[in-house]
Chain A
Amino acid sequence: MSQSSVVAALPQYAVGEQIGEGGMGVVYGGVHRQLGRPVAIKRLPHAVAEDPRMSERFEHEARLLARLDHPHIVPVYDYVRQQGEHLLVMERLDGGTVWSRFAGDGLTAQQSCGIVLAALSGLHAAHEAGVLHLDVKPKNLLFTSNGVVKVADFGISQVVSEGATLVTHGGAVLGTPAYIAPEQAMGNALTPAADVYATGTMLYELLCGDLPFERGGGPLAMIQKRVYQDPRPLPNVPEPLAGVVMRSIARDPLARYRNAETFAIDLAGAAGHLFGPDWLVRLNAPVHLAPQVSSSSTRRSLRPVERDTVSLTQQPIRATLVDPVPAARLSGSSTLVPAAQVIRPPSSPWLLWLVAAVTLLAMVVVPFLGSGRGLPEVSLNLADPVQEQGNQLVVTLAGIELANVPRGDTGFVLPGATRWIVGGAVTASADGREFLLVSNQTPWLSLMGTGSALLLLFALAYLESNLRALRRRQTGAAAVVAAVPLGLGLGLAVWLLVSVLLKHEPTVPTALTCGVLGAAAALSASLASRRA
């Protein structure tokens, strides 16, 4: 159907050019002929118009929407169903979208909080009337020419799919996967908490410029992450604001704010704490708040404000993600299937964990097996002269020279530091005749003994720290790369410690084997943690 059918269906309006298009229909500009009032006319997709059940649901939603009268909701002026067309006539807002401002000059944290408070105010009113939005995103928040934020596009997904997320066989998602709540993605029962999730995700993005989940992998992978993974912590945003945002995007709807108003109360309180009780007044943005939200915003906090708040309030944050995910167009529900049918839990990286466990075990076992070349042993206190034949004594640890001394009057007198460095056995060569020089002191008195033990513990702690960061998605490839030298250090520490304690000859092949096994174990564990 063309624009002419719209013109025919709305004779009282002068229908203008198309001003917008999305997965849920096309929007035309228009003017009411008698009143001269500019309007936006939304034409629903044919898939909706041709499906009698969807049509019924849409009519029901339209009646509810028409009753909504809230300063932060785009008002519906008219609804026309004629000749297979479903047309919604709404207020036309020319101030741009939150997304256009966010991607343009950027928004400060106060502006973002103000916008989200306005949106929550409108959403709560809609929820009270029994309407869920289910597609809250920066592009659906519009500004009037006076700067008032209004929520648009209510309830369309409810009409199309009864709230469940639909995907095409090609993997495109109907709707906006970046902001979709896990329960909505899986087609579970929906409550206002689904809109809380989308609004919280939007606020997360407005405050830090990025989404709470890693990018990439396509729309289905995006949904999968939202269903099966916890969001990344909000960077560079102080408490209590960060806590409010993170609670609003909790995976479990029960752990989230139950409705938009409780979210707004906490958000207003956190913003008031960070930006000062009069922050909304200073923001000079028209935001209509419920009395309890307003009082929470102006309540003076006794807690000290963190230092990094200053940079947060002054730096505008800009979008870093330029909507790369292709959205499905609603052209016929027959090609769409519920997302829950195609989303699978991420496969457990058991093979990587198995590789990590086996290589770790091998790394521990190898130094016990390699007992060296069976050289003769000379055991003594290394502070005493070495009484061996020859003119020159060279002491080495896995090829690294520790001492090279000529024969003195009382024998080979090793440098004073040798007794503090050497624990267990090291290789010695007197004029080319090799033997094992074994310290008869406790190995814990030596750098080789205590040093290797501390290196072992440090490498383990560092690795565990990185694995936790990977599990919490606080870091990415950098921690995986860092695992290689850490694993190498771990392997070398295990090799040296076991060699010292067992008084085995420390040899290069065993050291390299342990180092490589340690690196392999650490790398496997890091990759597994990243995927988990």
Chain B
Amino acid sequence: MTELAIEATGLTKSFAETRALDGVDLAARRGSVLAVLGPNGAGKTTAVRILATLLRADAGSARVNGFDVRKQPDKVRESIGLTGQFASVDEDLTGTQNLVMIGQLLDLPRRAARQRADELLAWFDLTQAAHKVAKNYSGGMRRRLDLAASLVGRPQVIFLDEPTTGLDPAKREDMWDVVRSLVSDGSTVLLTTQYLEEADALADEITVMDHGRVIAHDTPHGLKRVVGGQRLTVRPADPARHDDLLDVLRGIGGEHPEDDGRGTVTVRVAGDEVLPDVVARLRAAGIAVDEFSLHLPSLDEVFFTLTGTRSRDDNQEALV
């Protein structure tokens, strides 16, 4: 058995005129989380579909759980769980019916399928809705049922295609907890996302994709170092204090101030250790704020940094 649960090299796939994947390499160690980060149209979903045997690559090879996706698709299918944008549940069936159906398709005896369904519904806090038709589920419940459906067979490798897109922040955190507990049980997770924050919260390694290519592969820490730590966004209560605010932010080492034109200023900072200092200085300068937040760079900023600094030597290590 190989050490890698997911291993793809040189995946290429074209649809009509568009090249969805152009030589993509992916690798995830057993028991780890690999986040594939990229905007819409980057090729994330296509890559997942190939790994899950739903699509055939034009070129390249891939192994999932040690099995070749092209030559041993059924072995791969026995190893994986798939959830997200495309693989979902039957809207006309209840939660229980959906999960029992999948259990029976996985050759569980009726009673065992039933038991597994109840277990998963309880875990995902859907017991109350077990006998409701999935059509009437809320967005968050629907996602949880989708995820439950992909876990019926206790898969060793789990693909989550944008599992939290469209979920509110609280639901997103719940989903993250689920992913963490899956990994602690020994599963390998490949998740695609448009949020660096999500990748940072969950992933052991991050592969960044754009236009069907891998443009970076690193640990969250390494990637953040490349894209420049975190962002501090501040909006003064009094727009007239804008320039004073800029002085304060420069004073704590905030780089590349960006102004959104409505008085909100964003600077790059090394990390959260600057926060007490900023607060103290703002108070000393008597600047009241309406907004004050520390966050990771947005996907746009990550891309700008990665694609705009390709030639700089100190970033080469982050580029594949």
Co-assembled chains A and B:
no
